[in-house]
A = this chain, B = another copy of it.
Amino acid sequence: MSKSPVTDSAAYLEKKRFFNNILTVYGRKPVLEALEDPSTDIYRLHLASSNRSASIMDDIRKLAEKKGAEILYHDRAALSRISKNAKQDQGVAADLVCKKFQSSDDFLADNLGKKFRLLALDGITNPQNLGMIIRSACAGNIDGILLPQQGNAQIDPLVIKASAGTVFRAPILRCEDLAKTLTRFIDKGTLVCGLSSHAPANLKDFSPDAACIYVLGNETDGVSAKVNALCNTSVKIPMNNGVESLNVAVTAALIAFQ
């Protein structure tokens, strides 16, 4: 008897949702610190079978076991395919389960009709800024961070550090192409808001009647032309003393704590 296609499909979707939750971190100290956070869950710990014994490795293994992780041993080449960073993985990678990570499409499907507030990151290449944005968004009133795989810094040890470890509990919404993703949100009535010194409304006084995605652009070049063309509203942050712009992580924080 074959399984029903419906069940297959539901199981497939559930599995896909589960893997969208997974964040693979690498490097001995980053993995140890991630596991020391009582709120993190771990699915699998990957170790290079060539690792020499070291007390930090014992600590990592013990914490991973305690959290119920599967522990797998690989040759060096296989481990670097998992960590995607042979230079910095130091023979360790961990698949963390970040419950608030999901695909942007799942988020949209789950939140139709709600007045959510998102940040969309369009070329945040500085790990320090990405980490700070995640930390502020996570602490403030932001329901998700649209983080395209391409064009932004990867969630690496520098980002984790700058996020003060908050990335593991942050609502990261993964997507491929930001412009296409924004279009799908716009089709469901979402506002896409750019920052512009020419905007009529001040961020402070801006309280839209619909869901709204605030777009943050690259540190030097700003928002890309493709994404900028999709913005259907804009706000300004008035500045004194002739200052022309704020750091992008500061802008993110002002939006998050508006």
Which residues of A pack against B, CB within 8 Å? 39, 128, 132, 135-136, 138-141, 162, 164, 166, 169-170, 204, 237, 239-243, 245-247, 249-250, 253-254, 257
Count of identical protomers in the assembly:
2
Across the interface, name the chain B residue whose C-beta is closest to A39.
Answer: B242
- 21 of the cross-chain contacts (CB-CB < 8 Å) are A39-B242, A132-B250, A135-B243, A135-B246, A135-B247, A135-B250, A136-B246, A136-B247, A138-B243, A139-B241, A139-B243, A141-B240, A162-B247, A164-B243, A166-B243, A169-B243, A204-B257, A246-B253, A249-B249, A250-B250, A254-B257
Query: What is the bound-complex CA distance between A132 and B126, given in angstroms?
Result: 14
Whether B141 contacts A247 by the Cβ 8 Å rule is: no
Contacts of A240 in B (CB 8 A): 138-141
Which residues of B have CB within 8 Å of A249? Answer: 132, 247, 249-250
Answer whether A239 and B164 are a contact pair too, CB < 8 Å, given A250-B132, A250-B253, A254-B254: no
Question: Taking each of A139, A162, A237, A249, which has the highest tally of chain B beta carbons within 10 Å of its own beta carbon?
Answer: A139
Question: Which residues of B lie under 8 Å from residue A237 when comparing CB positions?
Answer: 139, 257
List 7 A-B pairs, minimum CB-CB distance, nearest first: A139-B243, A139-B239, A250-B253, A138-B241, A169-B241, A132-B247, A138-B243
In the assembled complex, the CB of A53 is this many whole angstroms from the nearest CB of chain B, namely 32
Q: Min CB distance, A205 to chain B, in Å?
A: 13
Chain B residues near A170 (CB-CB < 8 A) = 241
Provide the residues of chain B in CB contact with A132, threshold 8 Å.
Answer: 247, 249-250
Contact B128 A239 (CB under 8 A): no
Q: Please determine whether B247 and A166 come into contact, CB atoms closer than 8 angstroms.
A: no
A246 to B135, CA, bound (A): 7
Q: Shortest CB–CB separation between residue A256 and chain B, in angstroms?
A: 9
Write out the residue numbers on chain B whose beta carbons fall within 8 Å of the beta carbon of A141: 240
Which residue in B139, B166, B245, B253 is a CB contact (below 8 Å) of A253?
Answer: B253
**For residue A252, which residue of chain B has the nearest CB?**
B250
